[in-house]
Amino acid sequence: MNIEKRVIELVNEKIAEIERPDVFLVSAKLHSNGKLIILLDGDKGVGIAECVQVSRYVGFKLEEENVIETAYNLEVSSPGIDMPLTMPRQYTKNIGRTLSIKMADGSKREGTLNGLTEDAIMIEEKIKEKGKKAEVIESVIPLEQISETKVLISFK
């Protein structure tokens, strides 16, 4: 039995029960050190209550079914602010925020997320050419050209 696949099924069962249709699974990974890390997110964020409910349910079911035969630690949380966005649904909740984008070709871009389509994001970025005033342009970036996206946090 694929442990991660079973964990994903269990998480999705519990999410369906907790009456928060905006909550979704980002990832479930069993690391070689015995840590089972489940990351949840939500269109309106995800709280401790949802994480606790998923943790209890998954932990209970894994024990009941004896899915993992070795000792393990179960961690359920939301992705930290420094975690890259990994799925289009995470972009939606960050519309209006500033993103740092690493392109597949190694270049970097930065701008305010204005929206997204099924396969691209729209950002407003400032382009500064030497000797000229900075210009704000809207760019469409295909998701397939992005290797990593992080939300930039402003402490202003």
Which DSSP string corresponds to 115-148?
Answer: EE-SSEEEEEEEE--TTS--EEEEEEEEGGGEEE
Q: pLDDT digits over 63-119, tens only?
A: 999 888 888 999 999 988 888 998 888 998 899 999 999 999 999 999 999 999 989
Instruction: Please tell me whether the overall predicted TM-score, pTM, comes out greater than 0.75 for this model.
Output: yes
Q: pLDDT digits over 31-48, tens only?
A: 989 999 999 999 888 899
CATH 3.30.1330.20 fits 88-151, yes or no: no
Fold for the domain defined by 3-77? GMP Synthetase; Chain A, domain 3 (3.30.300)
Closest by Cα among 29, 11, 148, 8 to 83: 148
Domain boundaries, the chain: 3-77, 88-151
